Structure 1
Amino acid sequence: MKLSTIKIAASTGLFLASALATTATAQEYPDRAITSIVAFGAGGSTDVAARSLVRFANEYLGQEIAVENRTGGAGAVGMLALSQGRPDGYTIGTVNFELLAFRPLERAPVGPDDVRFIMKVQSSPATLTVQADAPWNTLEEFLEAARQQPNKLRIAASPPGAVWNVAAGLITNVTETEINVVPFDGGAQSAVALLGGQVDATTISVQEVIDHVTAGKLKVLATATEERHPALPNVPTFKEAGYDVVFGSWAAMAAPKDIPEDRFQILADALKKMFDDERFQTFAAENGITLDYVPGAEFALQMEAEAASVAAVLAAQGLTDE
């Protein structure tokens, strides 16, 4: 055999070995558990939904997905940790509406461009919720009381710049009312404040009030949805009352932005199967979770527009200079 033939054969062998190694690496992923970062506390609405989504990960991915709560800074700590995680496919996480506000508010150097969205999972529409025995049975009755006594009524919401605080500001702006917005650390604390009579209303999500509504302790006067929410079919929307308020939070799965394409696709395919699993769908329906699947690339485009809108709202509330 000629020397040139030997060289060609050797080169071909090396090429095939390299290709096989690459294929083997792709097939081997994942070969250990994956960490999913949740930027909010255990037991909260984001945490519960995230854990329910990935509880059957082993069936679809061959490995477990372990949820890790990293709290602080209204979600900034966890979402920053996700964006700075190793882009090897073993770190993913849940990101929320607050991701759009960190940079405009100068709270953390992280935004939607710093992660790669895998898929949108759910929407969490805002509400106007009061105690069950409150004197208002309709949205208009509540708003009329607010107009008659400006700044007397109190709405429990999240801290300035967080989603339910933005919701409260949007509601008061659109309805042309003056209502005190009282910040609490999160939805659970806002619900407790309303149940205890510390405030008159709250803007937190359907998911966060539905159990108290079912128990007869709270009532929802309106939902910030395009159409009536399936968990509250007898409750009108703000739009039905003549107010263009369609607003809420969302939750999406994301990874560090430089994740390899092959590993990203494996994760995206497996998480979509978990999303479609009848057990997850049933859990969501029973717990008032509004599922809203959007593929990652499409959702990223949506976030470009929404980020600009959020920046404008924050500026209107006097929270930024822009």
Structure 2
Amino acid sequence: MECARMNFTKTLLLYSAILGAQLGLAPLASADEFPAKPISVVVAWPAGGVHDTAARIVAEHLAKRLPTPVIVTNVTGAGGSTGVRHVEQADPDGYTLGLMGMHALSQNYMNPNATALSDLDPLAYLGPEPGSIQVSADSGIESLPQLIDTLKQEPGSIINGNDSPGGFSYVMAAMMESALDVKLTKVPYQGFAPTVAAILSGEVMSSTLPVPQLAEQHKSGQVKILGVAAEQRHFFAPDVPTFKEQGFDFIAGDYYIFYLPKKVPEERRSRLESALYETLLDPAFQQAAHKAGLILDPRNSVDTQAFLAQQDEKVYPILLSAGLVKARQK
């Protein structure tokens, strides 16, 4: 009887594979294969932000390379720390991935309860997300030099919407204050989507969001993006000059890194890395990502770890200078 059941199961899997191939579907996974159940990609921010958008585009195309669905889960709170901790404490079985940005690095130093950067296993780098600053249409501010002059003459006179302390738009605002010797009045929101709503409603006068979040509103005149904190202009807003073009030597940016909790078995880790990296190189994915305003620079786990180490060395002194280091010291 047991032998008959085994033969029936093998036959069912064979017919499923043949039918799936004929219909262009991914094959069913057997219990001893990896992955054999859905994979969760944890985003530490609410739906509607650029990290959430990036994760969902990747998940859609990653699922085409795996025999199981890839599901995005938003685990929010504490400036991104809650979501990172959720991944760090997950079973190291390969079924929980995370997507992080500068928030994981900054919280590592700002929040004594945050997950240490060394407790995460970087897997793949998607690309950078340059910082920028915007003002509402009725703010009376028409240019970045005018904004800086206003802040120097009247410190704190510009109300800036940003993340909870540790999130990138908060860090971007704090780094800008430190680098340009100005003072904003910072108002925190739980993610990019609420910040967008705040600047559009006039609740705040400015924001420090990535360009894709407000590119359409910039084109329609609802807000004005004053400058991009990068070496090059953003293709979503090619009319907006960089800070450097306007005489301010300031560069700041977020990024997208997929990561795992430590101690995931090497064969599973390698399987995920290969599938992720192939996804990031796929022209269909790249077309979808470009349409969403994502800048791509795919890297494997070795290069991703090297990038994160470089960011750590670069960003820590800035956080220290801005008075944001309150937990771990390098």
Determine which of 83, 101, 109 is the counterpart of 1:104.
109
Measured at CA, do residues 294 and 26 of structure 1 come closer, stay the same or move farther in structure 2, by a change above 3 Å? Answer: farther
C-alpha separation between the residues in 2 aligned to 1:156 and 1:267? 37
Contact map agreement 1:87 1:260 (CA 8 A) in 2? yes
Measured at CA, do residues 150 and 43 of structure 1 come closer, stay the same or move farther in structure 2, by a change above 3 Å? Answer: closer
C-alpha separation between the residues in 2 aligned to 1:176 and 1:294? 35
Say yes or no: does 1:289 pair with 2:294. yes
Say yes or no: does 1:224 pair with 2:229. yes
Q: Which residues in structure 2 correspond to 1:60-75 (within 5 Å)?
A: 60-75=65-80
State the 1:185 CA deviation. 2.2
Measured at CA, do residues 151 and 56 of structure 1 come closer, stay the same or move farther in structure 2, by a change above 3 Å? Answer: closer
After TM superposition, what 4+ stretches of structure 1 lie above 6 angstroms from structure 2?
none
1:129 corresponds in structure 2 to 134
2:22 corresponds in structure 1 to none
What's the TM-score once normalised by structure 1's chain length? 0.85
Determine which of 204, 208, 215 is the counterpart of 2:213.
208
Aligned residue identity for 1:220:
I
Once the two structures are superposed, what CA deviation does each residue of 1:232-290 show, in whole Å capped at 9, x if it has no partner?
11111011122221112112111122112222121111112222333322222222222
1:234 corresponds in structure 2 to 239
1:313 corresponds in structure 2 to 318
1:51 corresponds in structure 2 to 56
Contact map agreement 1:174 1:243 (CA 8 A) in 2? no
Once the two structures are superposed, what CA deviation does each residue of 1:47-80 show, in whole Å capped at 9, x if it has no partner?
2210111113342122211222222222212111
1:189 corresponds in structure 2 to 194
C-alpha separation between the residues in 2 aligned to 1:193 and 1:78? 24
State the 1:101 CA deviation. 2.2
1:20 corresponds in structure 2 to none
Q: Which residues in structure 2 correspond to 1:35-184 (within 5 Å)?
A: 35-184=40-189
2:27 corresponds in structure 1 to none
Determine which of 261, 264, 272 is the counterpart of 2:269.
264
| 1:28 aligned counterpart, secondary structure | coil
Structure ID, larger Rg: 1
Measured at CA, do residues 94 and 161 of structure 1 come closer, stay the same or move farther in structure 2, by a change above 3 Å? Answer: closer
The more displaced of 190-199 and 215-224 is 190-199
Q: Which residues in structure 2 correspond to 1:23-42 (within 5 Å)?
A: 28-42=33-47
State the 1:222 CA deviation. 0.4
C-alpha separation between the residues in 2 aligned to 1:149 and 1:90? 51
State the 1:27 CA deviation. 8.6
| 1:152 aligned counterpart, secondary structure | coil
Aligned residue identity for 1:139:
L
Aligned residues: 299
State the 1:133 CA deviation. 4.5
Superposed CA RMSD: 2.3
The more displaced of 72-81 and 100-109 is 100-109
Aligned residue identity for 1:115:
L
| 2:108 aligned counterpart, secondary structure | coil
C-alpha separation between the residues in 2 aligned to 1:59 and 1:129? 37
Contact map agreement 2:46 2:190 (CA 8 A) in 1? no
| 2:227 aligned counterpart, secondary structure | strand
| 1:245 aligned counterpart, secondary structure | coil
Q: Which runs of 5 or more residues in structure 2 are unaligned?
A: 1-29
C-alpha separation between the residues in 2 aligned to 1:58 and 1:159? 32
Report % sequence identity.
29
Aligned residue identity for 2:78:
G
C-alpha separation between the residues in 2 aligned to 1:319 and 1:272? 34
Aligned residue identity for 1:41:
P
Aligned residue identity for 1:262:
E
State the 1:127 CA deviation. 0.7
Contact map agreement 1:57 1:63 (CA 8 A) in 2? no
Q: Which runs of 5 or more residues in structure 1 are unaligned?
A: 1-24
Contact map agreement 1:126 1:247 (CA 8 A) in 2? yes
